Structure 1
Amino acid sequence: MPASNILRLGVKELRSLWRDPMMLFLIVYAFSLSIYVAATGIPETLHKAPLAIVDEDQSQLSARVTSAFYPPYFTPPALVTQSEIDRGMDEGRYTFALDIPPDFQRDLLAGRQPTVQLNVDATRMSQAFIGNGYIQQIVGAEVAEFAQHYRGAAEPPATLAMRVRFNPTLTQSWFGAVMELINNVTMLSIVLTGAALIREREHGTIEHLLVMPVSPLEIMMSKVWAMGLTVLVACGFSLVVLIEGVLRVPIEGSIALFLFGAALHLFATTSIGIFMGTIARSMPQFGLLLMLVLLPLQLLSGGVTPRESMPLFVQIIMQAAPTTHFVRLAQAILYRGAGLEVVWPHFLAIAVIGAVFFTVALGRFRKTIGAMG
């Protein structure tokens, strides 16, 4: 009977989800367009940065420096006067403004060290950070070659042989797509289970369950398996069709092993969703509570910033979060092709954390059901 009740109640949850168009839209968006945008929306390198040049020298060297900037890193340089720089940067038309002073070539050939001024709009953070280094390298290389009267760099006394593992081309979309998938698995599992419980309370159907011969454990288990299965199916479909198929991200390890780890992770996160659903009294309250819980789970799990870069006490605290271990096993399996003999500690940690969260959530759920009864 308990297994039959859990199965039938879970089917009821799936039917209720099917009749909720907003939740269906959220699931489809989270595992399709959201992942595609995260993988392709942020340029991997400097791309079409607007540049203005003030050429006060009008020499062969200044012309050579001006012609060194070209797409796709920069837009064709806009030749402006010095009085137009401030206005152009205030209006946001230029990220960089390079001012080549008068007598630049003559001073260089005379052995003096002329100064070229570079103005940077630092509000465009990614372009400013990357483009600043690009411009310094380009100007330095052109000036050095002009002074040496030939192109080419001197042979260094030692060379560095670099071997890039797991992502040979340093393609950012490979990382962004998988990390967005991991984050959306966490988000959707918490949202769906918490919303399912709040929806029962708002629609009054929770009272119907109270008069049925079912226990709080059966009710909670039905929501966990139904919402977890929904997210797991969407995750597997997105991984195979979108990430592997459309985005061409090479998956090195076993997809089945990853999905098994995702199922354990869903056991923990759906329990968190149930617990939050018992605390919040409405969907707006649940949304506010979700921000307080979801942001630390995602930002401090190691998916955005390496855990080694975080303070030690944050690393210790986040060991109790299932997302920390899920990110590590997902990266090990999907990127590095690790097997169960490598990631089993993370599987065990997620299972233990999930059991703790499930027990706490069940106790809170029973108390809430008892108060309503």
Structure 2
Amino acid sequence: MATLANIVWLGTKELRSFGRDYVLLGLVVYSFSLAILAQAQSSSQELHNAAIAIVDEDRSTLSRQITQAFLPPHFKPPVAIAERDIVPALNAGTYTFVLDIPPRFQADLLGLKPARLQLDIDATAMVQAGLGAAYAQQIVADEVARFVGRAGGPAPAPVALVARIAFNPNAETAWFTSVMGILNSVTMLAIILAGAAVVRERERGTLEHLLVMPVTPFEIAMAKVWSNGLVILVAVGLSLVLVVRGLLHVPIIGSIPLFLVGTAAYLFFATAIGLFLGTLARSMPQLGLIYLLVYLPLAMLSGSNTPLESMPPWLATLLQASPTVHFVAFAQAILYRGAGLDAVWTRIVVVSAIGAVFVVAAILRFRKTVALS
């Protein structure tokens, strides 16, 4: 009981110290609020409000029908321009797409003559250019098929492929990037806060003060693990409710409490890594450099950006030993697919087991470092 009381008391000291460190406090607030909003809203991979102009040289029923089919939110309302204005408009960056409907387009189509449209694209808007060309092609094909069907022409093909997208019906990038941003922030801040807690004690000379008190290195290390983990756990819960669900309107299908339980298990691993790095670094700049060598591989090979299936088989097999991979896997299963404990408990157990190993290694390293001090 005395050991537990010391761990709790030292942990509250860490929380008070963190509350007075406005740089780290601001980093936590920013990482789980503005950074999530920016990542979700600035890296959109879907077509949204693309500027389009239409040169209607046919002025037929079909050309008007095609013009009216380009609707928000994928495209802005089409603007009618003359053929001579196409090049100046593209040069000025006024429109991303210009659709040129030539004279006698409808007549040629009904007369079974070759009928072509021209779509001019400003490819400097790379993502919109690629997606918009496919959208425009589909819109024109649908409107032509509908018009020809009403005009008594050949019927469209009897077989159609209907795609149904599960868990993200509109394939919105923000639904994915917002949650993945939170997962990456958990790893980043757990390492930074735990490592900074050790380095800060050394830089301020308070580590020696702790050593003359009736506390053990184990109690000091565990206090740093639980206090910094608690800060991140609270920040994750608030970010999911206030930012992801509240501001971004991303529906969270699964159980947030279950996800937080899994996150708590993962935080033992991440804070242990930070504690270990804190024993290696002698200053905050050194900690920052060492942190980059650890965090970047963990984040890039976690499966949050690139699926493990897209990696070489040997690497995908090797990464099964990484708790970050299991963390991303059960987080996606819970938050996106609504998985329960029965579907993710094995991954949570694996994360807890690997995390326990790293906690023991970090505490042994911390105890050795403290003894040398």
Q: TM-score, normalised by structure 2?
A: 0.84
**Distance (whole Å) between structure 1 residues aligned to residue 77 and residue 342 of structure 2:** 54
- Residue 47 of structure 1 deviates from its aligned partner by 1.9
**Distance (whole Å) between structure 1 residues aligned to residue 339 and residue 287 of structure 2:** 37
Q: Which amino acid aligns with 1:301?
A: S
Aligned residue in 2 for 1:11: 12
Aligned residue in 1 for 2:366: 365
Aligned residue in 1 for 2:349: 348
- Residue 193 of structure 1 deviates from its aligned partner by 1.0
Q: Contact 2:46–2:173 at 8 Å: present in 1 too?
A: no
- Residue 149 of structure 1 deviates from its aligned partner by 4.8
**CA distances 1:155-213 after superposition (whole Å, capped 9, x unpaired):** 76456676655455656554444333322222221121122222223323233334444
Aligned residue in 1 for 2:296: 295
**Distance (whole Å) between structure 2 residues aligned to residue 153 and residue 287 of structure 1:** 67
- Residue 50 of structure 1 deviates from its aligned partner by 1.0
Aligned residue in 2 for 1:261: 262
The answer as to 2:261 corresponding to 1:273 is: no
**Distance (whole Å) between structure 2 residues aligned to residue 225 and residue 282 of structure 1:** 23
**Distance (whole Å) between structure 1 residues aligned to residue 257 and residue 215 of structure 2:** 33
Q: Which amino acid aligns with 1:89?
A: L
Q: Find the residue that maps to 1:71 and give its secondary structure.
A: coil
Aligned residue in 2 for 1:193: 194
Percent identical among aligned pairs is: 53
- Residue 5 of structure 1 deviates from its aligned partner by 3.0
Structure 1: segments with no counterpart, 5+ residues: none
- Residue 315 of structure 1 deviates from its aligned partner by 1.5
Q: TM-score, normalised by structure 1?
A: 0.84
Aligned residue in 2 for 1:202: 203
Aligned residue in 2 for 1:30: 31
Aligned residue in 1 for 2:318: 317
The answer as to 2:308 corresponding to 1:307 is: yes
- Residue 343 of structure 1 deviates from its aligned partner by 1.7
Change (3 A) 1:187 1:312: same
Aligned residue in 2 for 1:21: 22
Q: Find the residue that maps to 1:137 and give its secondary structure.
A: helix
Matches within 5 A, 1:328-343: 328-343=329-344
**Aligned-pair RMSD on alpha carbons?**
3.3
Change (3 A) 1:231 1:62: same
Q: Contact 1:252–1:334 at 8 Å: present in 2 too?
A: yes
**Distance (whole Å) between structure 2 residues aligned to residue 165 and residue 48 of structure 1:** 24
Matches within 5 A, 1:220-235: 220-235=221-236
**Distance (whole Å) between structure 2 residues aligned to residue 189 and residue 152 of structure 1:** 65
Aligned residue in 1 for 2:69: 68
Q: Find the residue that maps to 1:271 and give its secondary structure.
A: helix
Q: Find the residue that maps to 2:53 and give its secondary structure.
A: strand
104-113 or 214-223: bigger deviation: 104-113
Q: Which amino acid aligns with 1:233?
A: V
**CA distances 1:107-162 after superposition (whole Å, capped 9, x unpaired):** 43443323322232333233223211111012223334444554999576456676
Aligned residue in 2 for 1:49: 50
Q: Contact 1:145–1:151 at 8 Å: present in 2 too?
A: no
Q: Contact 2:279–2:369 at 8 Å: present in 1 too?
A: yes
Change (3 A) 1:149 1:240: closer
- Residue 99 of structure 1 deviates from its aligned partner by 3.1
Aligned residue in 2 for 1:96: 97
Aligned residue in 2 for 1:2: 3
